[in-house]
C-alpha cells in the first residue's frame, strides 16, 4: 500500500464515514479504517476486502499513532468533535500529515482555530475543520460570491432543505453543543459571537427557483459563523433554515436517513443560497444537490486531494474558503453539487 494514497478515516463506520470511505475508494485512495469499535470496523472492511483495520480511541494516543502510521492524511468523521477533534489533530501533528474533519459543532471548530493555529503553522501542515455541508460549503459559497471584494457588510447563508432526518451523531453533537453554551443560541454580529437566551425569529426568505419564498428560522446558526469570519472581513454573518427541516431536527422521533439509491443516499434535496452585500450591492452563489450527509464526502475528499497535490493557498488551521480556490473548487464538485454564481 503506497503511503501517498493511504488515508486514515477516523469514525469510518459511521453514517458520514461510510460515504467518505466509498468516495476515497472511487477516487483511487486506500482508506485505513479506524475508530473505537473493532467489530464495526471489521464489518465495514468485509464489504471492501483488503482494507486495513486499525482500532483506536481518542483516549489512547499510542493507538492513534498506530492508526495513522504510513497514512498521507487523516479525515475525522467521528463526533462529537468536542471530544474527538483535539486528540486526532494531535496525532496528525505527531505524524506530520494533513487533517480534515467534518465537524458542524460551532464550539469544536472554535477550539480548533484557537488551540492549533500556531502549532499547525509551525509544523508546516494543513488542518481544515468543518470541511462538510455545514461550515465548509457555506464558506466556499460566500468566498466565491465575494469575488474581488476584500470586505463586505454582511453575509447570509440560507439553507433550503426538503427535510432533515438527523443521524444519531448529529443529535449527539447538537446535545454537546447545547450543553457547552448552557442552552443559549449563538449569533455573529458586529464582528463577534454573541450568546442569547431569546427565541430566533421566524422570517421569509426568497430562494431562487424552484423553492421561491419559504418560511425560515432566522439566526439558525451553523458553523459558517466560524469558518467565514476566520478569513473574510464581514462583520455580520447570519444563517437560516427552512422551517420544515428545523422541525424535523427538533422532533425527537424523526427517524435517521433512509437510503433510496445504490449509493446509500437519501431522498433529501437541498438548495443553499449565499448572499453577500456591500454598500448597497449584492452578490450571490447558489448550490443545489442531494443528501447533506452524502455530499459531505466529496467535499472532504476533494479538499484533501487539493492539499495532497499542493493546490492550497496557506498552511496552518484554515477554513475551506481560505485554503482553497473557492470558484474552481466548487466547479470541480460536479456532478455532486451544482453551483451558480450570480
Q: What count of Cα atoms within 13 Å lies in the side-chain half-sphere of residue 283?
A: 17
> Cell 455573529 belongs to which residue?
188
- Band (pLDDT 50/70/90 cuts) for residue 342 is confident
pLDDT digits (tens, 9 = 90+) for 253-275: 999 999 999 999 999 999 999 99
Query: How would DSSP label each residue in 116-131?
Result: HHHHHHHHT-EEE---
pLDDT at position 2: 39
Q: What is the mean pLDDT of the chain?
A: 97
The Cβ of residue 277 has, within 10 Å, a number of other Cβ atoms equal to: 17
Contact partners, residue 306, CB within 8 Å, separation at least 6: 312, 323, 324, 329
Q: What percent of the chain has pLDDT over 70?
A: 99
Enumerate the CATH 3.30.360.10 domain ranges in the chain, comma separated: 133-292+333-341
What distance in Å separates the CA atoms of residue 292 and residue 104, rounded to the nearest whole number?
Answer: 12
- What topology does CATH give the domain 133-292+333-341? Dihydrodipicolinate Reductase; domain 2 (3.30.360)
For residue 1, pLDDT over 80 is answered with: no
Q: Using one digit for the tens of pLDDT, what is the confidence trace for 159-180?
A: 999 999 999 999 999 999 999 9
At residue 48 the predicted structure's pLDDT band, cuts being 50, 70 and 90, is confident
- Cβ count within 10 A of residue 192: 9
pLDDT at 17 over 80: yes
Our measurement of the distance from residue 224's CA atom to the centroid of its chain's CA atoms, rounded to an integer in Å, reads 9
Instruction: Kindly give the residue spans of alpha helices, DSSP state H, lying in the chain.
Output: 15-26, 38-46, 61-68, 81-95, 106-123, 138-146, 168-180, 224-227, 243-250, 296-308, 320-323, 326-331
Summarised one tens digit per residue, pLDDT across range 187-211 is 999 999 999 999 999 999 999 999 9
Over the stretch 61-119, which tens digit does the pLDDT of each residue have?
999 999 999 999 999 999 999 999 999 999 999 999 999 999 999 999 999 999 999 99
Cβ neighbour number for residue 71 with a 10 Å cutoff: 26
User: What is the pLDDT at residue 3?
Assistant: 54
Class of domain 3-132+296-327: alpha beta
Q: What is the mean pLDDT of residues 290-302?
A: 98
Amino acid at each position: 500500500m503506497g503511503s501517498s494514497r493511504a488515508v486514515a478515516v477516523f469514525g469510518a463506520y459511521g453514517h458520514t464515514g461510510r460515504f467518505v470511505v466509498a468516495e476515497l475508494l472511487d477516487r483511487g485512495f486506500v482508506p485505513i479504517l479506524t475508530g473505537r469499535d473493532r467489530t464495526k470496523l471489521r464489518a465495514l472492511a468485509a464489504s471492501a476486502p483488503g482494507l486495513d483495520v486499525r482500532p483506536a480511541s481518542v483516549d489512547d494516543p499510542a493507538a492513534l499513532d498506530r492508526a495513522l502510521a504510513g497514512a498521507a492524511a487523516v479525515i475525522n468523521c467521528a463526533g462529537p468533535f468536542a471530544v474527538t477533534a483535539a486528540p486526532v489533530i494531535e496525532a496528525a501533528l505527531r505524524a506530520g500529515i494533513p487533517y480534515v474533519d467534518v465537524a458542524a459543532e460551532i464550539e469544536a471548530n472554535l477550539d480548533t482555530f484557537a488551540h492549533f493555529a500556531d502549532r499547525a503553522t509551525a509544523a508546516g501542515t494543513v488542518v481544515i475543520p468543518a470541511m462538510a455541508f455545514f461550515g465548509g460549503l457555506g464558506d466556499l459559497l460566500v468566498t466565491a460570491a465575494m469575488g474581488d471584494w476584500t470586505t463586505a457588510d454582511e453575509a447570509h447563508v440560507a439553507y433550503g432543505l426538503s427535510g432533515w432526518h438527523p443521524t444519531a451523531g448529529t443529535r449527539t453533537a447538537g446535545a454537546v453543543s447545547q450543553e457547552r453554551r448552557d442552552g443559549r443560541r449563538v449569533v455573529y454580529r458586529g464582528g463577534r459571537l454573541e450568546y442569547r437566551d431569546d427565541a430566533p425569529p421566524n422570517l421569509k426568505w426568497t430562494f431562487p427557483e424552484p423553492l421561491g419564498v419559504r418560511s425560515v428560522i432566522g439566526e439558525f446558526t451553523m458553523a459558517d459563523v466560524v469558518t467565514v469570519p476566520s478569513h473574510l472581513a464581514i462583520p455580520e454573518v447570519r444563517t437560516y433554515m427552512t422551517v420544515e427541516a428545523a422541525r424535523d431536527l427538533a422532533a425527537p422521533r424523526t427517524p435517521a436517513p433512509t437510503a433510496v439509491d445504490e449509493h446509500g443516499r437519501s431522498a433529501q434535496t437541498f438548495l443553499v443560497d449565499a448572499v453577500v452585500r456591500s454598500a448597497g450591492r449584492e452578490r450571490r452563489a447558489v448550490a443545489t444537490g442531494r443528501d447533506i450527509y452524502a455530499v459531505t464526502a466529496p467535499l472532504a475528499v476533494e479538499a484533501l486531494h487539493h492539499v495532497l497535490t499542493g493546490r492550497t493557498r496557506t498552511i496552518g488551521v484554515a477554513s475551506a474558503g481560505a485554503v482553497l480556490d473557492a470558484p474552481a473548487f466548487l466547479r470541480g464538485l460536479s456532478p455532486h453539487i451544482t453551483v451558480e454564481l450570480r
